[in-house]
Amino acid sequence: MTRAYNFCAGPAALPEEVLLQAREEMLDWHGKGLSVMEMSHRSDEFVGIAQEAESLLRELLSVPQDYKVLFLQGGANLQFSSVPLNLLGSHSSADYIDTGIWSNKAVKEAARYGKIDVIASTADQHYHRVPQQQELKFNKDAAYVHYCSNETIGGLEFDYVPVTENGVPLVCDMSSTILSRPIDVAQYDMIYAGAQKNIGPAGLCLVIIKESLLDREVSSIPTMMSYRVAAENDSMYNTPPTFAWYLSGLVFQWLKRQGGVAAIGEVNARKASKLYAAIDESRLYANPIAVANRSWMNVPFTLADTGLEKAFLKEADAAGLLNLKGHRSVGGMRASIYNAVPEAAVDALIDFMHAFEKKYYPA
Amino acid sequence: MTRAYNFCAGPAALPEEVLLQAREEMLDWHGKGLSVMEMSHRSDEFVGIAQEAESLLRELLSVPQDYKVLFLQGGANLQFSSVPLNLLGSHSSADYIDTGIWSNKAVKEAARYGKIDVIASTADQHYHRVPQQQELKFNKDAAYVHYCSNETIGGLEFDYVPVTENGVPLVCDMSSTILSRPIDVAQYDMIYAGAQKNIGPAGLCLVIIKESLLDREVSSIPTMMSYRVAAENDSMYNTPPTFAWYLSGLVFQWLKRQGGVAAIGEVNARKASKLYAAIDESRLYANPIAVANRSWMNVPFTLADTGLEKAFLKEADAAGLLNLKGHRSVGGMRASIYNAVPEAAVDALIDFMHAFEKKYYPA
């Protein structure tokens, strides 16, 4: 078996140790004679798996006691509706920060349920930087402020946590940065994240929410989208995606073995730093994002000669460096270097990029 | 490794061959150097996996060309909201048939979105039979008629397909009977089914719907719940639960190798028939459901001496016969004998039941 280096933006690489353990336990979990996939979600065994996963996540992120952790379905996209349906309450509007494709999708969906005010946008600067705190023109009656801490497609990341006014809750789509470094959960009122980047396989979505926000849902909300109902039922109002939940627990165990989010954050900083350095030092490759806002997780780059893109992708693939093609909406290349992408993968990519430039774009 | 016989109602047993194949391919799918879980859902590889699964399902159930097959999330519970939000359209009401806990849950959720008329119920007969066709008092202006073909908890199953009037669409929650025998999809306008019984792991929900029904959604529907949007995007409006989708494809391949739904239907009929016979012939065990409406998939039974229940479960467990406890809402025992539960498991259960009766409840 040869494992490739996988730079996919999501569903993304998983730690090899996690896949090995899942393989080992595939037909017979802990001598119980059945797969995790075949267990009742209400069995002692699965409830134990589920609770352990939640405990580990709470430990890794130091989640305060007054926050609920929910294991949901539907990905971040379903949250684009769930957030307004759960949090608008009696408010008529919410504030959104626009930093690219994903925050825009959130705006469009939320606008179907309330008045959405885009309080800051860097669209006119091609989303090459994030708005600064002083540019955020909050509405004092907003139900909440929403932003996306990392735009997976643009490779644009907030280097600060916005501070709202008048105690308006802060909601963050953290799909592609959660667990990549320490965060202070208390700075947020709600965090959500699709699993398929730093958490586990696709089909699971995490919500971390302050309990005091669970009383705001609008009456028409589908029961399955209610955070209150999910919280009251320990995310088992219905059958949850049990295998994805179990795998996320294995990922959390792995992350703890790596030394937790502080330790992985150091590795991630180093991975990103050396890859951006390689891009900046080259004549062939370029990344347009303001240095302070460059994503640690998603590194898009262009080739000065776009005619070389096909060869780049083909030769990278042959070298076992997979999924480097940029998102269809923007083109170019993108290397997603989530937690499970080892530093050796980034080193191999940099070596490949150097060799490719030397061969096809010599000085 | 010892695999137990697993009678769980869901998440239920999966075919051992499927788990073995998934284990084999866990870290390196077809020599590509990565797990299916780590593939982009838009990659050629995964799109191929997804399309093959759909093709196999269409072949197994002979799904007519004018029906869309959707691979969604959220389980049947989310469909309890999705059905009215997608199908009420300009109609003000829908007809529901009440046969137990699951159809009731569907009624309650739908009633949040429109006027729901329960056109037939056997609640006053403890749900020991299903309403007959002539008892169904349809409303001619109903948006649709909804029923649950198999009540997983009650063990109650329709032995006929209701015929609606005035061309009102028929919607069926087929979560626990789909693929258990041949069905004529053309008799339905929409079928939905949570995966975790006869399809694959939890976290996936199948919808089979006539294309002509895709223009009825209400304007407030969350985009992720829209069948139209899912159909227009081949169930990839967002990242689907890729691993569950892949596993369902493996289950469909396995089912085809068994000879398809006709062949598995014969096995299932035999399994159910011998288990009900064992119950009926005993003094200790009993099942209250009208013979024609006994579920092929979920066989609940009580013990004449309820004081023996604990011993029954304990000794069954020790004998490798797992998850025989009835649903917490009704008590007693329940053996779910889905496609992946081999006939040998049913034989072993019957032998155990005989021996247990002889030991603890001799004549």
Q: Spell out the domain ranges in chain A.
A: 16-257, 260-360
ipTM above 0.90, yes or no: yes
Q: Are strands A170-173 and A145-148 parallel, antiparallel or unpaired?
A: parallel
A16-257 is classed CATH 3.40.640.10: yes
In sequence order, what E strands does chain A have? 5-6, 67-72, 93-98, 115-121, 145-148, 150-151, 156-157, 170-173, 190-194, 205-210, 285-286, 298-303, 321-322, 333-336
Give me the mean pLDDT over the A233-258 stretch. 98
Architecture in CATH of A260-360:
Alpha-Beta Complex (3.90)
- Chain A contact set for B75 (CB, 8 A): 73, 224, 238-239
CA angle B199, B200, B206 (to 5 degrees): 55
Dihedrals phi, psi of B158, to nearest 5 degrees: -70, 135
Q: Which amino acid would we find at residue A24? A: E
Residue A196 annotated as lining a ligand binding site: yes
Nearest by CB to A202, which of B196, B225, B241? Answer: B241
Q: Which residues pair with B67 in a beta bridge?
A: B210
Q: In terms of CA atoms, which chain B residue is nearest residue A323?
A: B40
> Across the interface, do A39 and B11 touch by the CB < 8 Å criterion?
yes
Burial code of A183-201, b = ≥16 C-beta within 10 A, e = fewer? Answer: bebeebbbbbbbbbbbbbb
Cα–Cα distances in angstroms (integers) from residue A42 to residues A28, A65, B200, in the given order: 18, 24, 18
Tell me if B58 is assigned to a ligand binding site: no
Catalytic positions of B, written as ranges? 102, 173, 197
Total residues found in chain B within this entry? 363
Report whether B204 contacts B244 (CB < 8 A). yes
pLDDT of A97-112, one tens digit each? 999 999 999 999 999 9
Contact yes or no for B14 and A38 at CB 8 A: yes
How does pLDDT run across A247-279, given as a tens digit for each residue? Answer: 999 999 999 999 999 999 999 999 999 999 999
Percentage of chain A beyond pLDDT 90 is: 98
Residue A2 pLDDT > 90: no
Whether A140 sits among the annotated catalytic residues: the reply is no
DSSP E strands, B4-138 = 5-6, 67-72, 93-98, 115-121
Specify which residues B333 forms β-bridges with. B301, B325
Q: Identify the three-state secondary structure at position B82.
A: helix
Nearest C-alpha of chain B: how many angstroms from A325? 11
At residue B329, the pLDDT reads: 84
Q: Band of the pLDDT at B363, cuts 50, 70, 90?
A: confident
- A and B: number of Cβ contacts within 8 A: 220
Helix, coil or strand: residue B180: coil
Annotated ligand binding at A228? The verdict is no
Contacts of B328 (CB under 8 A, 6+ apart): A42
pLDDT > 70: percent of chain A: 100
How many residues are listed for chain A in this entry? 363
Residue B243's pLDDT is: 98
Question: Binning pLDDT at 50, 70 and 90, where does residue B1 land?
Answer: low
Residue A135, number of CB atoms within 10 A of its CB: 12
Q: What is the mean pLDDT of residues A166-170?
A: 96
Q: How many CB atoms lie within 10 A of CB B313?
A: 17
Interface residue of B35, B36, B197 to substitute, partner A, most A CBs within 10 Å: B35
Which of A16, A23, A28, A37 is the mutation pick for testing B, counting most B CBs within 10 A? A37
Chain A residues near residue B219 by CB distance under 8 angstroms: 112
Among B7, B28, B34, the residue to mutate for chain A (most A Cβ within 10 A)? B34
Is-catalytic flag, A102?
Answer: yes
